Structure 1
Amino acid sequence: MRRRATLALPLLLAARGARAQDGRRLELIVPYPPGGGNDIGARALAPALERELGMPVVVLNRPGAGSQIGMAQVARARPDGLTIGYGLWPQTTTLYLDASRQAGFTRESFTPLALHVTDPGAITVRADSPLRSLADLVAASRARPDDFRMSDNGQLGHEHLASIRLQRMAGLRFNQVHFNGAGPALTALLGGQTEAAIFAVGTASGQMRQGAVRALAVLSAEESPFLPGVPTARAQGFDIIAGSTRAFVAPAGLPPDLRDRLASALQRAITSPEHEERMRALSIPITYRGADAFAAYWAEEERLLRPLIAELTREGRSQ
């Protein structure tokens, strides 16, 4: 294991713009299907990261079990600087805090590298839905307890947790439908299999521009510039703030020199003018944090979520 890490080092220390000639590549694992926010963000960054590292960057989709399969693959990978993951928080944290999931990893199974974006959530319906506000959604659900179909991108992800909070605040009980990523959840919403869904703004805004969905509320403290005219949930009487944080990790045990090199390459790629412009076009806000700041953010998130997940598990609401 150590020998392979040593062999990888000259590649990562190569001058910027150089190309690896021995067939090596960086594998960037996305634990979700194509088409969702994580997949879009990873592929948007890959060209800039490739230039910074001087080697090919290949995005590999490894979906399943609400990102558990892909994140477990990252945790098991050799810490040689040639495999990293692009995960979603709080989803990654809730996977291992819910003991029933038997995730096979914890926070200590990874080396934090960089926080890329925090994308607020948005409650959406199909464009032809009669629901035009959160009040309409609450009324529809109240009329059909346990039958109104609300979908999310994975159990105990930010969408699911936001849905639970809305149900508690309004005294509702949705028929909650879980999917393995935004792509399948969006397909179900557009196909009428579900009546509402919570997506990140980056996903919702693109679908709104195409006239496919309507956003009823944005789950941020203030209205989003990417969803003009859409009120916050707070402004409609529901103080819910939630979003999708996407970040890069490597397996635990990554040598410090490789960790620093990967973290520096990610910083340059994420903050490059080209990438910033690309993300603006995708309506995804960059909120970069370095490796140490991301590690602190993750530890604090775990501290706050641990009692909540324990409570939901006791209630049987984690499913």
Structure 2
Amino acid sequence: MESFIVVRANDRVVKVTARNDGTINEKTLRRAFQLEDDVPIGLFKNDLALACRDDDVFELQEGWKGAEFELRWEESRRKLKKLGATNPKKRKIEPESQELPVDGDLAASIGRYALYYNVKKDNYKRSAIPLTPRLAATFRHGDNKSIEIGDEIVIRSWSDEKLKVSTRAVKIVEELDTIILESDGADLCHKDLISNSILPRKGMQYLMMGYSILHEKTSHQSLSTGIIVSDVTRRLRYTGSSGSFKGDSGGSCWNENGQLIGMQIEVQKRPHTQDEKGRPASPASGGRCCIVAIISILANIQDLLPPADSDGEYEWNE
């Protein structure tokens, strides 16, 4: 069985075969990303640059199999600086002053991926995000803390009343506040959305689908727009300018091209404002939302994905 790592660079994510001794050479990485020999590269894990030996080999360190790494090269940084200096119309990130309209065409194109499930205690919908035909993701916090591996969750579709798929919790990724669900047989969707996902980027506009419209003791689909306003944090979170309300947890986030970029899991808390004597002048309230990248989830579920065949397609073992 081949050993590999997941390498991301810019908007690309590639599985790259590594040596069994836990090393990978520069040439392998260059070929994977079509980089010329004169472009300096660095390999990083959790923002820490890995050691490169004199023979141009990176040492991947313990626990490297299937782990996520980032490849950086000087050429890309020069290009980004150049673009930023010559683009006077670059989008200004002032989220509090912007009200972005919902793109109706985009909303229609991704509407088929609006999945949800209910729990016994109430009739409110919880978001589930299809990742592949057989895998979905949802949030871990709150009531979902009680979900254990093997628990059954029945997933339904907002747009297709006939869809009813039995899934089971197969993996919990605590650091990403994520539960992975696997279908017992039927398909959740007909596309491999996770392989086409890209990383959120500061300044990127997104559309979020949730279920935060509450009416008559149930919840209905909600659409929110926003802009990614931060780089990734040490906790692997991005900040989005849209607010977050009850029913938005687990909401799927999509870029303007209809690519899945993240899952909404948290909300920033805005502290009390104070009067001149330092006393609370207003209640604390919810602020901007926090998003985990779908690509970060991908790096944690390699063991659940089917092997790629020689044509790069996926095959499921029934």
Structure number with the higher helix fraction is 1
TM-score, normalisation: structure 2: 0.24
Structure number with the higher strand fraction is 2
Instruction: Report 1 or 2 for greater relative contact order, CA contacts < 8 Å, sequence distance ≥ 6.
Output: 1
